Each structure stands twice: as structure tokens, then as C-alpha cells.
Structure 1
Amino acid sequence: MGNDDPGGKHRILMVSDFFYPNFGGVENHIYYLSQCLLNLGHKVVVATHAYGNRSGVRYMTGGLKVYYVPWRPFVMQNTFPTLYGLLPIIRTILIRERITVVHGHQAFSTFCHESLMHARTMGYKVVFTDHSLYGFADIGSIHMNKVLQFTLADVTQAICVSHTSKENTVLRSGLPPEKVFVIPNAVDTSMFTPAVDRPRTLEEIVIVVISRLVYRKGVDLLVEVIPEVCQLHPNVRFIVGGDGAKRVRLEEMREKHSLQDRVEMLGAVPHAQVRSVLISGHIFLNSSLTEAFCIAILEAASCGLLTVSTRVGGVPEVLPDDMVVLAEPDPSDMVYAIQKAIYMLPKIDPQDMHNRVSLLFKSSFLTHLVGKLVLFCLRVLCR
């Protein structure tokens, strides 16, 4: 399908199982990317499955049109794979909205894969963005990799958020490396700024954790690390934001070690409130066992926090060495890294760190989000 607009404007369909009102990095990425494309004059439509009673067509900020297809999530917000069940609805959306480019997000989204397959069969240009790393040995990954090889066999372009992610995606999907491009994630530094109205003191050191509390995010590591750090440093307090299946393990740890006054559990934190949580801390702790990029690290650094993170996936590619302390995903090594970060804190200037992030990722909110799709869409459509 060609672009029928002589002015070079495109009509883009975003497809994924993950979108608002669900919270997460993929959801935020799709929303902000859509808003930037709308600001440039492109038409953007989002298609996802129904969330609760949110079904049918809804409109969001900037006139973003969202189709909440009346499919219910089967497991982990993914719809049940039907192969051809989505074809009538997706075909209707593609024709009704006169779509020129289809952009799918996230490898584990069955809605995304079915939509890309049907769109490519109908002759549309399709772009796929992979946001995460997955393995090769467990049953789920083995089956998912076979699905990737099938649905991405004829994809026009693919995008990954780090070089590690690109290598992972190429190996899993069998895509030619020349079809896969790396565009790192970014952060809107105007939204994530240090606190200027409160003096920075080190009498009490606050370590912030904001993450989905699931196995993949290393919650089991936190359960071992937090008590040891609290024992070694009486002036350290933890703030944990997020929710998930592993939350009960953290609560059990807090009860077992009587750390109710030193470990604050916030539950799920809306993205609009993330900054207010970050600026209350000094150190941001990421304990993920696998991570393609981790945009939370950028948000924390932009707020002036020193980051301690596991050395996994694409994390080493995110920030310069003097802005992050990396550790192996091992409790003792993570405790050592946190101690190292505590000793580094007096030398950290939050505003300077924010300025460096702004410089490293300047115009990131526009260049990244717009470039993420527009440049590649223009490239493939003009061939």
C-alpha cells in the first residue's frame, strides 16, 4: 500500500496488547510516540484489546483515536492467540482509517503479531519494535521464538532499543540484521527534573525502587539485599513503588526483619507521580534480571539520582560509567555496589546530572519518539 497523501503525511496504526489504562514502559512509549506523530500532522490510530468496561472507540489527548477491540486478556494482559480471529476487525480498521503503516509493539503481544501478519498479507508496510529481552531455553521463550520467526518473516523493518536487544531479537526471530535498527529509548527531561525547593541532605539516605514486582525484575534479589543494607547502614531507608505477584515476598521480608519504619511500600505508582517519588530519594536501585534498556534509569538520572543497577542486557549502554554503579545479579555484589554509591553521594550534584542527561538525550522526546517511527516509515514507503 502506498501513501495516498501527496504532502507526505502518513496514517499509522499502532497495535499492541499493552496500552492505557494499563501502566508500563510500552504503554507510555506508544502514547507519547503517537502524540509526537500527531503534532507533526500524521494521523495515528491505536488498536488494543478491551480493558474492563473500556471497549469500543475512545478518543485521547490530541485526537488520538483508540480502538478497544472487544477481546479479553487471556494471561498477563495478552489476548488468546487465534491466528485468524482478529482478521475481520483489523481489516475493517485498516480500510476505514486508510492506514499506510502498521507499527506493532512487544514480542509477547499476540494482538501485535496477529495484526502484523494480517496487515502484511494485505500488502501494508509494517514496522515492529521489540522492547524486551527473552531467553532461548524455557518453554515460553521457545514457543515465542517460533511465533516470532513465523509472524516477522516478512516484516518491513524492525527496531530494538539497544544493541544487546538487537542481537537477541535477530537470534530469536531469524531476521536479517540489516533489517533491524537500534534506536535507544529516551526520556522527557522537562518532566523529570531535580527538586529545587528542598535542600539535599545526607543525614538520611533514601534508596528508591520503582518497578513491577515480578520475578523478572529481580524482587528475590531485593528480598536479600534490603535487610543487609539496612543492617550495615542505620541511616538508609527504602521506598518501593510498584505492584505485582512478588509484592508479598517484600512484605514478608519487612515483617520478618521488623523494617516497617525503614521500607515504605507505595503500591502501583501512576506515571504522572513517578517524579514526586524519585525526587524524595538519593539512589535509584534497579535489580532486574533481564532488561533491554530500562527507561526508569534515565528518569531517575534526570531527577538527579545516582543509579545502582544489575549488569544485565542493555543496561550498560544507558548511562556513562560515572553516573551508574553496576553489579552482578548477586546479593553480595549488589550490597557492595550500594555501599559504593553511598560513598559517592557527596560528590553527586543532582542539577549537574540532570543537565548531563539533557545533553546526552537532548531533543530525545522529539527526536527519539518521532524518529522511532517516522524516519523508518518514510524510508520503507519511499522505496
Structure 2
Amino acid sequence: MPYNIAMVSDFFFPQPGGVESHIYQLSTKLIDRGHKVIVITHAYEGRTGVRYLTNGLKVYHVPFLVMYRSASFPTVFSFFPIFRNIVIREEIEIVHGHASLSSLCHEAILHARTMGLRTVFTDHSLFGFADAASILTNKLLKFTLSDVDHVICVSHTCKENTVLRASLDPLMVSVIPNAVVAENFRPLFHPSYPNLSEFGTNVVPLPQHLGHHDTITIVVISRLFYNKGTDLLVAAIPRILANHPNVRFIIAGSGPKAIDLEQMLEKNVLQDRVEMLGPVRHEEVRDVMVRGHIYLHPSLTEAFGTVIVEAASCGLYVVCTQVGGIPEVLPAHMTVFAKPEEDDLVAATGRAIAALRANKVRTEDFHDQVKKWYSWTDVARRTERVYDGISGVLSEADFYGYEAADAASWSATRGRAGVQSFALIDRLKRYYGCGIWAGKLFCLCVVIDYLLFLFLEIWAPRDAIDIARNWPKKVKKERAISAGSTFR
């Protein structure tokens, strides 16, 4: 059955990134499957108010203050009036939040539960348990996920991390990976795309078989932050170039660590062998990737790593750190793994260069394999099944995967793993168990949120809010012809 869904996150286009691309692609495929989807995010420079994207995807840019790395300043309650207005206007039934560090996501799930809406949360990141930032983030996540209907993680490692951080029942957490639009990340040489002129690229075709004296290009496309391994990259590049004279780098991306890369290039006089492109738009990523032979991904923490799937789809051999959910993403014949250490990263890159020069790797087969494994249509279908489960379309036995005959014993030992009650007393019980002091604070927030909701229902009654018109659906050609013949 079709649903009205609101995707909520601080991280969305025009900012490039994995979460942003995930929300857009998932929303587009859900619209193709007959659902209504809107996106709620904060305003970006030049992007305010309501915008329409491809396929009728409506985006609400809420004018909130951005605090750090595109995350808005947490206000807890001031978002409620705007959120309620949008939800009523669009007749939303399911609120789907994305990213642990998104304030809008956490606040939207709280307000949605107060309004009696079903909620889903997707976690895209990994966090630790010892440092102060992780402790605060984990407590916030515990607050949000205590009253959510279902949780989605992008890898099994991410699921284990989220279950531990938020003390969740593993049954209420599903693993649905990211995907890529393989047609948008196609190699220069591929029998399915014989017309190279349609690619819109001026890239000189690379030799399919590399000799010992041919230049090998290593591509890096990343946000230049500490957690993305930029410091590791700064230390490794001079050593890799010293060991391999016929190797050059192309680095795309921006961030506070860009200055460290530029200083390294000046210190070692490597400007002729390392090309810094700065920030690139997502639609330009493929044109950068096909200029290389190897994709280097030195991240220190990663829940999935969509960019390495995109690189493999473009026919690049991938060198990546063995952290987080990255080992789950691609098979061994597409990747060379390294520990997140300078020496091991240099050695792994050397092994990849040697394998390409010896023609031991068939990168021309990578695109077809990735296209078969990762599909946004499949991601949308699996996400739709989660919506069916929390909405009651699927039975509890079908959704959670136990035999109907064992329902009584299963419920007695496990309890219901999701589909939380909307009753205020039940919500307060769940929040109260979040900690000696935190539990009381969380209960206070829920009570205030509920009183604010009652005030808004009186101050701005639902009848006074206009219902937005839906974007017109495309009519299939066959149906249009038959309708025309009927009226004749």
C-alpha cells in the first residue's frame, strides 16, 4: 500500500555526501513505487523555502542556524510548530530520520511520536564509547531510539554498533546497505556503452594493459576531515611517490585538512605529481574516477563506504582501510585492505600497483558485478517492507521472522521488538529507563513536548492548515491512449 513519507535530516543536497545521496536515491525509488515522499532539511546558502527536485520530490528547507559540519543547532521544541505544519499539509504517515548527528532527525522523531506517527531511523555512522563526544551522542541516540518503531543500519558492523550504543533489541534493527546507480558510474571501456561521446567527458582513454613504465593514477575523493584519514594520506603520499616513480595522484574534496595536504605538497615539491581539484559535485565524481586506475580510501571509521562501490563500478582497483563496515562492501578480488596505519597503507598501495602492472586484476569486469549486487530499487523494496511491518500490513511473525506456532513463547521471552505504543504513559516508561538522571530529563522533555502539541492543536487548529496538492503522476502511454479512445 502507498505511504506518505517524510525523510528528515540535516544532511541533504546541495551538500555532497553519502547520506545526502542515500536520501535522494531512496526517495526517488520510493516515489517510483507509488509512495509520496518529501524531504525536510535545513536551509543552505541559496536554498530556502520549498524546492522541487527530479520526479516530483519536494524539499522543505527550514531556516535554522547551522552549527557544525552542516548540522543545525539543536532547539528541541522550536522545530515543532514548523514540523507539525509540514506534516499536516503533506498528510504524512511515516517519519524517516537519517544520521545520528542530525538534530533535525532526532527532534522530528520525538515530535512525530507525540503526534501519533510511525517512525523509522537509519544510522549511517559508527561511534565509539569512550570519548566525551561519543558518550553524549550515544545518550542522545538512546533518547531517540527508545521510542522509535524500527531502525535500519547500512551494514552489519553498523548494526552491532547501534545496538550496543542504544541498548536495542537486535530484532528491531534491519540491515539494508547503500547502493549506487551503476549507469552513472560506468568505465570508459565497456561493451554496454560503446558510444564514448555520450559520456560528456574529455578524458583521454587509459591503456587497458599497463606496462612497467606506464603511469598509474591514484584517485582520492573524500571530505578532508580527520575521520576520513586525511592525516594518514598526508603521511603516505610522499612515500608512495618515492617508491613508485611512474605514479601520480588526483585528489578531490574540501575540508579543514586541505591546508595540510597543500603544505605537504609544497614541502616535498610534489605539485607536478599530485593534482588538487578541490570540491566536486556528485555528478562530476564519475568523470574524475575514470581518470585513474586505483582508488585510495584511507578512512579511519566508516559504516559502509558508498564511494568505494562507485569506484569499483568505474573499473578502479580499490585500496582501503580495514575498518568498520568496509570489509562487507566489496569482495577480495576488487580490494586490497590495509590497517589504518601509514606503513601498511603504503605497502597495500604498493601491492595494488604491482598487481595492475602484472595484469593480475580484471577491472573491466567490476562494473557488471557491482551493477548486479547493488541496486536502489532493491533498497527501496526492502525499506518498503519495513514500512509494511511497522504499519501492520505484515504480521508480527512475518516481519520479525518467527513461526506463527511459536508466537506465544516468543512473545513471552522476547516481548514485542518494535511498533511502539503511542500512549503517553507507555512512552514515559520507555524513556524513564534511559538512566538515573537522563531518564527523568527525557520524561520531562516528552511531557513538555506533549503539552506543546496540545497548545498547537488549539492555537493552530488542523482545519486552518491547507492540504498541499500532490505532484501529478506520470500517466503511462498505453493508459493515456486507451483513455483517449474511450472519450471518442
Structure 2 equivalent of residue 3 of structure 1: none
Please give the alpha-carbon distance, in whole angstroms, between the structure 1 residues aligned to 2:264 and 2:181: 35
SS of residue paired to 1:141? helix
Confirm whether residue 55 of structure 1 aligns to residue 48 of structure 2. Answer: yes
Residue 265 of structure 1 corresponds to 276
For residues 371 and 251 of structure 2, what CA distance do their matches in structure 1 show?
26
Q: Alignment partner for residue 208 of structure 2, among 184, 200, 219?
A: 200
- Structure number having the greater strand percentage: 1
Kept in 2, the 8 Å contact 1:194–1:350? The answer is no
Q: Is the 8 A contact 2:176 2:383 kept in 1?
A: no
Distance 2:76 2:365 in 1: 51
Aligned to 1:300: 311
- Please say if residues 51 and 72 of structure 1, whose CA atoms lie closer than 8 Å, have aligned partners that are also in contact: no
Q: Which amino acid aligns with 1:41?
A: G
What pairs with 1:101-250 in structure 2 (closer than 5 Å)? 101-196=94-189, 198=205, 199-200=207-208, 202=210, 203-250=214-261
Percent identity over the alignment?
Answer: 54
Secondary structure of 1:190's aligned partner? helix
For 2:180 and 2:12, how far apart are their aligned partners in 1? 18
In the TM superposition, what is the alpha-carbon distance from 1:121 to its structure 2 partner?
A: 1.6
Shift of 1:223: 0.7
Runs of 4+ in structure 1 deviating by more than 6 angstroms, as ranges, are none
Query: 1:46 is matched with which residue?
Result: 39
Give the CA deviation at 1:63: 1.1
Alignment correspondent of 2:264:
253
Q: 2:68 pairs with 55, 59, 75, which one? A: 75
Larger radius of gyration: 2
- Whether 2:391 is the aligned partner of 1:373: answer no
RMSD after superposition: 1.1
Aligned residue for 2:370? Answer: 357
Taking structure 2 as the reference length, the TM-score comes to 0.75
Q: Under a length normalisation based on structure 1, what TM-score does the superposition of the two structures give?
A: 0.95
Question: Tell me, what secondary structure is at the counterpart of 1:347?
Answer: coil
Cα distance in 2 between the residues matched to 1:161 and 1:371? 15
Does the 8 Å CA contact 1:10/1:43 hold for their aligned counterparts?
A: yes
Q: Which runs of 5+ in 1 are unaligned?
A: 1-7
Where in structure 2 are the equivalents of 1:285-324 lying within 5 Å? 285-324=296-335
Shift of 1:347: 2.1
How far residue 372 of structure 1 moved from its aligned partner, in angstroms, is 4.6
Cα pair distance change 1:184/1:73, threshold 3 Å: same
> CA shift at 1:359, angstroms?
2.6
> For 2:292, what is the secondary structure of its paired residue?
coil
**Aligned residue in 1 for 2:89:** 96
- The whole-number CA distance in structure 2 between the counterparts of 1:58 and 1:341 is 44
Q: Paired residue for 2:343? A: 332
Distance across 1 between alignment mates of 2:315 and 2:63? 43
Structure-1 separation of matches of 2:317 and 2:47: 39
Q: Distance in 2 between matches of 1:299 and 1:343?
A: 23
Output the CA distance in 1 between the equivalents of 2:251 and 2:59. 32
Task: Give the CA deviation at 1:29.
Answer: 0.8
Q: Does structure 1 retain, via aligned residues, the 8 Å contact 2:230–2:257?
A: yes
1:238-281 CA distance string (max 9 Å, x none):
00010000000000000000000001001111110111111110
Contact 2:180 2:309 (8 Å CA) reproduced: yes
Report if the CA contact (8 A) 1:308-1:341 is conserved. Answer: yes
Asked if the contact 1:10–1:101 (Cα under 8 Å) also holds between the matched residues in 2, the reply is: yes
User: Compared with structure 1, are the counterparts of its residues 309 and 358 closer, same or farther at alpha carbon in structure 2 (3 Å cutoff)?
Assistant: same
Which stretch has the larger CA shift, 72-81 or 349-358? 349-358
Larger helix fraction of residues: 2
